[in-house]
Amino acid sequence: MNNKIGIFRWFVFTIVSAFYLTISGQVGRYDVIISEIMADPTPTVGLPAVEYLELHNRTDEACLLVGCTLRLGNTAKALPAISIDSGGYVLVIAEKNRELLEPLGVDIYTLSSLSITDGGTQLILSDANGEILHSVAFRKRWHQEVIKQEGGWALEMRDDRQPWLEEEGWASSVDPSGGTPGRANSLEPLPPDVTPPALWRTTMLDSLTLRLWCTEPLHPPIENGAELFQITPNIGIDGVSEVPPTFTGLDLHLAAAPEEGTSYRLEVIGPLPDCAGNPIPVGSGLDWGIASQPEYNDLVINEILTHPFDGTDADFVEIYNRSDQIIDLNSVKIGSGGDTLPEKAAVAVSSGMQLLPEHYAVLCKDRRATLSQYTCQDPFALIQCDSLPAYANMTGIVFLTDYSLRSIDCLAYDEEMHYGRLNSTEGVSLERLDPERATQDDGNWHSAAESAGFATPGYINSQHINDIPDGELSVAPEVISPDNDGFEDYALISLKLPNPECRVSIQLFDENGIPICHLANNELCGSEALFRWDGEDDQRRKVPRGLYIIDARWWNLEGKPGHKRKVVAVHN
C-alpha cells in the first residue's frame, strides 16, 4: 500500500512539475525582475530588521516559477516554486525571518538562509533552463544620500518599464518606513528612454572572438547578427552571441584571425535597437586591432584626482597611450603604495578595453560622480573601476604595471605640485603638462584650470604644453597672468645645453636685481632642460606685476660655464 501511495505521489509530482516548468518556460527576460533590495536593514527605520529581495511580475498574466535559481555573487540558491500575480510582488527572505515579515501581509517565499552583501554584489535570477530573467550588480553607493548608506533603507528600482538600467535605474526608497516590500515602489518613474545606444569599447577574447561592449543592453534576441556588422579590411563574421549577465556585450565570432599590426574598423550596417526600441545609428563604428603588451612608458599617468569634492568618490586616474600600439587595459594593473612595487594593485579594466594610440582612459572610483561633477567631452573614455585603489588626498604613489608587476609608469604626488595660491586642492586634479617629459618631474604637473572646472577627465589637459620655442634659453609665453584660469598661467623656461650632462642653476630677479625665486640649484640635466615658473617667489607668494629677469647658468663635466638671461613679464 505504501509503495502505491509513493508511486502515486511521484506520478503527481512529475506531472505537476512538468506543468510548472511549462508555465515557467513562458517567462522571458525582464518579465520577472528583482525590483527592491534590502541588503542592510539596520539600524531600522520602520521595517523589521530583515534582509529581503522583492520579485515583481511585469506581465499581464500570473506566472509560476519552478526550478529557478538566485545567484548572489558566487553563491547559487535554488528557489522554491513561486507564484506571482499579474503585476504582483513577492518577497524572498531567510526562513528564520518569516514571522517578522508575516504581519506585513505580503507573499513570502523562504530560503534556508539569505545573506546579501551590504556593500553590493551581482544578483542574478535565472529560470529552470539557466536562462537569465534579470540581473543587477548593485553597490552601496547607489544610495546617493550618505546617511542611507548606513543601513535601514532599501534600494528600489525607479521604473519597472526600464528594468535593464543599472545604477541610473535605482535609488534609495523614499517611503517613511525605509522600503516598500511587497508593493509598488515609492520612487517617481523615469522619463521614457529616447537615447540611442552606442558602441563603447572592444577587446579580443581569443584570435577569433571580438567582444564588443555597448552603452546599454540590446533588445533580445539578436537575430542574423552576422548581417548587422561589417569589418574593414574585410573579415567575415560567422555569428554573434550575447554576453550575460548584463547583455551589454556582444561576441563577434570571426571567420578568420585578424593580422597583427593592421587597424580594423567595425561598423554597424543593420538594425540594432536597445530594449526601448532606440536603434544604434547605422554607420556607427569603432577602430580595433591586435593589442600589444605594454612596455615601459607606453602608457603614462596623465591626470589624477585624489581629493574629490565633499568627500565623494569622484576620484580618478587618467591614462594616456603615448605609444603607436593598441594596448588592452585588461593587461594593465593600477596600484598604490609601496616604494618600488605597489602594495595594492588591481586590473585596470578586467572586462577589457582597447586603448588606441593618443587616446585617453579614465579609471573612476565612481563614474557617475565624476560625470556629474566635471565636464566630460568624451564620456566613453570614463570606465568604472570598482577596485581602484584608495589614494590619499595629499601625498601618495600611483603605479601602472603589467601583470608581472613590471613598471609601465609611476607617479609620487604631493600637494606641493599644485598651484600654490589655491585656497584648497579639494576637487582639483593634477594635470600632466607634457606626456613626453618624465613623469616624476614636479615641473611637469600643474593644477587643472578653474576655467575647465578644475579637471579634464578623458580629453586634453587644460594645462598642457603646445610648442616650446627653440633657442639656447627661451621662455613661453613671455607674459603670464598666473590666476589658474587655464590661460598663460605659467612660463615654461627651456634651456638647450651643449652636453648631455650639465649642472644647471636658474634664478629669477625683480627689476631691482633682488633674487626672488630659485627654480634650479645645481641640477644635473640632459641636453635639454625645462622648468615651470608659476609667478611665485621662494615662499610661494604671488609676485607683483612687473618685469623679471631669468638668469640661467650651467657647467659641463669639465667645469666650462655658460650663462644666459631672458625677461618675463607678470601681468596680474
Q: Mark whether 453 and 470 lie in a shared domain.
A: no
Is the per-residue pLDDT at 137 higher than 80? yes
CB burial of 222-249 (b: ≥16 within 10 Å; e: otherwise) equals eeebeebbbbeeebebeebebbebbbbb
Q: Mark whether 203 and 70 lie in a shared domain.
A: no
User: What pLDDT is stored for residue 150 in this prediction?
Assistant: 95
Q: Mark whether 211 and 123 lie in a shared domain.
A: no
Q: Mark whether 531 and 450 lie in a shared domain.
A: no
Has residue 484 been placed in a domain?
yes
| pLDDT above 70 coverage of the chain, percent | 94
Q: How far apart are CA 570 and CA 409, in angstroms?
A: 35
Has residue 508 been placed in a domain?
yes
The CATH number that applies at residue 516 is: 2.60.40.1220
**C-beta of residue 68 within 8 angstroms of C-beta of residue 79:** yes
- Give tens-digit pLDDT for 529-566: 788 899 999 998 999 999 999 999 998 877 788 999 99
Number of separate domains in the chain: 4
More confident residue, 11 or 297: 297
User: What pLDDT is stored for residue 467 in this prediction?
Assistant: 60
Which of 238, 270, 288 marks a domain boundary?
A: 288
Say what the pTM is. Answer: 0.81
**C-beta of residue 398 within 8 angstroms of C-beta of residue 343:** no
Q: Mark whether 156 and 245 lie in a shared domain.
A: no
Has residue 186 been placed in a domain?
no
Q: Mark whether 445 and 535 lie in a shared domain.
A: no
Q: Mark whether 509 and 367 lie in a shared domain.
A: no
Has residue 334 been placed in a domain?
yes
Is the per-residue pLDDT at 2 higher than 70? no
Q: Mark whether 517 and 549 lie in a shared domain.
A: yes
The CATH number that applies at residue 84 is: 2.60.40.1260
- Give tens-digit pLDDT for 150-182: 999 999 999 999 999 999 999 999 999 999 999
CA distance readout (Å), 324 to 92, 117, 291, 294, 382: 53, 43, 11, 11, 21
Beta strand extents in 270-414 (DSSP E only): 285-288, 299-305, 316-321, 327-328, 332-336, 344-347, 354-355, 360-364, 382-384, 396-402, 407-413
Mean pLDDT score of the chain, rounded to an integer?
Answer: 91
Mean pLDDT value across residues 284-302: 97
Q: Mark whether 66 and 158 lie in a shared domain.
A: yes
Is the per-residue pLDDT at 13 higher than 80? no
Q: Mark whether 482 and 536 lie in a shared domain.
A: yes
Q: How far apart are CA 474 and CA 533, in angstroms?
A: 13
Q: How far apart are CA 454 and CA 456, in angstroms?
A: 7
User: What pLDDT is stored for residue 529 in this prediction?
Assistant: 78
Which of 257, 288, 319 marks a domain boundary?
A: 288
Query: Residue 19: which pLDDT band, with cuts at 50, 70 and 90?
Result: very low
Q: Angle at Cα 443 formed by Cα 442 and Cα 449, nearest 5°?
A: 100
Query: What is the 3-class SS of 415-432, one letter each residue?
Result: HHHCCCCCCCCCCCCEEE
Q: Mark whether 456 and 523 lie in a shared domain.
A: no
Q: Mark whether 51 and 104 lie in a shared domain.
A: yes
Residue 492 identity:
L
Range of the domain at 243: 199-288
| pLDDT above 90 coverage of the chain, percent | 77
**Residue indicated by cell numbers 627654480:** 519
- Give tens-digit pLDDT for 412-421: 999 999 987 7
Has residue 270 been placed in a domain?
yes
Has residue 261 been placed in a domain?
yes
Range with the lowest mean pLDDT among 272-281, 349-358, 392-401, 464-473? 464-473
Q: How far apart are CA 361 and CA 435, in angstroms?
A: 14
User: What pLDDT is stored for residue 9 in this prediction?
Assistant: 41
Has residue 307 been placed in a domain?
yes
Q: How far apart are CA 403 and CA 362, in angstroms?
A: 19
User: What pLDDT is stored for residue 560 in this prediction?
Assistant: 84
